[in-house]
Structure 1
Amino acid sequence: MSKAFSDEVREFTIAPDDDGIRLDRWFKRHLPDATFNIVSRWARTGQLRLDGKRAAPGDRIEAGQVVRVPPADPPKGAKQKQVRPPLSEDQIAFARSLDFHRDKSALVLNKPPGLAVQGGSKTKDHVDGLLDALQYEAEARPRLVHRLDKDTSGVLLVARSPRAASIFSKSFSSRRATKIYWAIITGVPDIDEGTIDLALSKQPGTGGEKMHPDPGGQSAKTLYRVIERAGNEAAFVALQPLTGRTHQLRVHMAAIGHPILGDGKYGGQDAFLTGEISRKLHLHARRLALPHPDGGMLDVTAELPDHFDKTMTALGFTASLGDVDVAPPDLPPDPAAQKRAARAYAKDIRKGRRGERRGRGKSRGGKG
């Protein structure tokens, strides 16, 4: 059912997972090469039928109905959908080693640090490319429903059906999903528990690859709690993002002066400790809880990666103390103090960029 175009008329029976959706949405799910314009043309010419009757792209469909798809040739210049190369035995074994929870609707992976969730122009190894190995007995290929940064480890939820994907996605967008992260930060906050409320936007001049605090940006809120301290050198913290902005936890912690350990992108040299402490990012999606499509709650936790676990031991932290809910503090946050921290952080960024511009100017002058 992956190809939109055929020399013959085809008929498909609507599955229960597609009950109630629009017909154009059904095409997007199952015949993505048939664009909205193509489907509309089929409807206008009477070739598109539901149970033998003329249909329109906006019609709601029901389980058990039969969709008639007419024969058609692909339009000139149409791009052929890329075929995913078959996975090797090693890739299949690796993908399945990440799976620590599986039921009718959900797969939960413990994503290792360094593995991207989706591919890009320079990224060939990613979770999305491994999902064929995780289909098991399901009829549909698993679908990603949320994301983690490449260097962030931990809980990654994958839906096993279109219906489950829709329900999980709505839980994330409506903020009914509770996400708890563990992190080790450099330094120790003066307040053990609080809310960081700093709007974020893409930092100019970075091609959208970095975010920064911006009063005119998108609202971003993070609850944090200090679990343990290693003197004044570092702290083990639990973080709960109330919004889902790009790099939110990393920017928020750097903005209050306590970057996540190993996060040189936002913390610079202040994000690293001396000695044998790993320079990898110490940010782990520990727990995810949200409504399950089949009733009840899905509540899962992921074990720490090796580098994080070794740092916990080296700094004398106890992992079992971190499994607590991060609740809103009794006292409201100090917005004035947070704004001061954000301004200082933005000032440092501007200073760095001025230095880069001066460097580029000298280089151009030398060419003459």
Structure 2
Amino acid sequence: MSAAPLPLLYQDDALVVVDKPAGIAVHRSNLVGADDDYVIDRLRAQVEGPLYLAHRLDRATSGVLLVARSREIAADLGRQLMERRVHKHYLAVVRGWPEESGSIDHPLSGASLKGPAKEARTHWQRLATTEIAIAMGRYEQQRYALLQVEPETGRYQQIRRHFAHASHHLVGDTTHGRGDHNRLFRIHWSMHRLLLHAWRLGFAHPLTLQPLWIEAPLDASWQRIVAAFGWQAALDAVSVASTPGT
């Protein structure tokens, strides 16, 4: 049976923007197993012409994925990313209640998790919180927060590693997270994915130079958590009109 087509958020003669599902690797690499299902292969089966990945998302992360239709467009988008002119807004659910806003400035090594660490900065805004009357460990109540996260740099698994470093581990992170909290979400909310979503991406269109913002809707798992914790109003209050470059 052939894989389902990918949801497309935007396309024109220069770009294709994909709503990447969680749990699917973007492309073949030494960092993933011998899968036979990749985002780029699915996309090539449904969109004609050459395609070049402009950036990457982890297998476990969902959301906006930018693909160029030519090497020249890919190079232009690469320059925007290198010059930090691309705004990447993620949604994340973390354990605990971080401050209302803040930054993590902590160098990170590469994908091998070895070698020299390079500068890495992540900024966040706390959108909502919840406190759940479930005892676990030393605590009678469990606290979680919904964050909007903007990585300034693009290191390997940067958001996941930064919030683990800050002891606000992402829920559903089986590599850097907390197994007890992951199990709690699986048992009570049937949550079997990492709660990290590439929500909005803002950049200059390579041909028109006009600012373009693309948003990926939340999948059913995310919607279940948002509804359970009463977070929809907080999400609605974060308007695209308030984001930079619009």
| TM-score of the superposed pair, with normalisation by structure 2 | 0.83
Counterparts of 2:45 and 2:72, CA distance in 1: 20
Q: Which amino acid aligns with 1:320?
A: D
Counterparts of 2:243 and 2:194, CA distance in 1: 21
Whether 2:188 is the aligned partner of 1:286: answer no
Partner-residue secondary structure (3-state), 2:59: coil
Residue 178 of structure 1: how far off its partner (Å): 0.5
Residue 47 of structure 2 is aligned with which of 104, 122, 135?
Answer: 135
Partner-residue secondary structure (3-state), 2:169: coil
Q: Report which of the two has the higher share of helix.
A: 1
- Identity percentage of aligned residues: 31
Whether 2:105 is the aligned partner of 1:192: answer no
String of CA shifts for 1:163-182, please: whole Å, max 9, x gaps: 21111111112211110000
String of CA shifts for 1:295-336, please: whole Å, max 9, x gaps: 212210000111111111112211323446689xxxxxxxxx
Counterparts of 1:250 and 1:197, CA distance in 2: 14
Q: Which amino acid aligns with 1:268?
A: R
Counterparts of 1:302 and 1:172, CA distance in 2: 19
Partner-residue secondary structure (3-state), 2:236: helix
Whether 2:177 is the aligned partner of 1:267: answer yes
Cα distance, 1:279–1:130 mapped onto 2, change above 3 Å: closer
2:230 corresponding residue in structure 1: 316
For structure 1, the 5+ residue unaligned runs are 1-87, 328-368
The answer to whether the 8 A contact 1:181-1:284 is kept is yes
Pairwise mapping of residues 200-215 of structure 1 onto structure 2 (< 5 A)? 200-202=108-110, 208=112, 210=113
Q: Report which of the two has the higher share of strand.
A: 2
The answer to whether the 8 A contact 1:145-1:159 is kept is yes
1:176 corresponding residue in structure 2: 85
The answer to whether the 8 A contact 2:91-2:147 is kept is yes
Counterparts of 1:270 and 1:230, CA distance in 2: 17
Counterparts of 1:129 and 1:282, CA distance in 2: 25
Cα distance, 1:146–1:175 mapped onto 2, change above 3 Å: same
Q: Which amino acid aligns with 2:148?
A: A
Q: Which amino acid aligns with 2:118?
A: Q
Pairwise mapping of residues 315-354 of structure 1 onto structure 2 (< 5 A)? 315-318=229-232, 319-323=235-239
Residue 241 of structure 1 is aligned with which of 144, 151, 163?
Answer: 151
Cα distance, 1:240–1:326 mapped onto 2, change above 3 Å: farther
Q: Which amino acid aligns with 1:149?
A: D
Cα distance, 1:265–1:129 mapped onto 2, change above 3 Å: same
The answer to whether the 8 A contact 1:200-1:218 is kept is yes
Counterparts of 1:326 and 1:104, CA distance in 2: 26
Counterparts of 1:104 and 1:276, CA distance in 2: 45
Q: Which amino acid aligns with 1:301?
A: E
Whether 2:41 is the aligned partner of 1:125: answer no
Which range moved further: 236-245 or 157-166? 157-166
Partner-residue secondary structure (3-state), 1:265: coil
Root mean square deviation of aligned Cα: 2.2
Partner-residue secondary structure (3-state), 1:276: helix
The answer to whether the 8 A contact 1:119-1:125 is kept is no
Partner-residue secondary structure (3-state), 2:178: helix
Cα distance, 1:258–1:286 mapped onto 2, change above 3 Å: same
Counterparts of 1:287 and 1:146, CA distance in 2: 14
The answer to whether the 8 A contact 2:130-2:229 is kept is yes
The answer to whether the 8 A contact 2:204-2:211 is kept is yes
The answer to whether the 8 A contact 1:227-1:236 is kept is yes
Partner-residue secondary structure (3-state), 2:38: coil
Residue 271 of structure 1: how far off its partner (Å): 4.1
Residue 294 of structure 1: how far off its partner (Å): 1.3
Q: Which amino acid aligns with 1:304?
A: L
String of CA shifts for 1:140-190, please: whole Å, max 9, x gaps: 41111110000100000111122211111111122111100001111111x
Aligned pairs, how many? 224
The answer to whether the 8 A contact 2:63-2:198 is kept is yes
Residue 128 of structure 2 is aligned with which of 218, 228, 239?
Answer: 228
The answer to whether the 8 A contact 2:21-2:61 is kept is yes
Cα distance, 1:108–1:172 mapped onto 2, change above 3 Å: same
Cα distance, 1:289–1:326 mapped onto 2, change above 3 Å: closer
Partner-residue secondary structure (3-state), 1:229: strand
Q: Which amino acid aligns with 2:163?
A: M
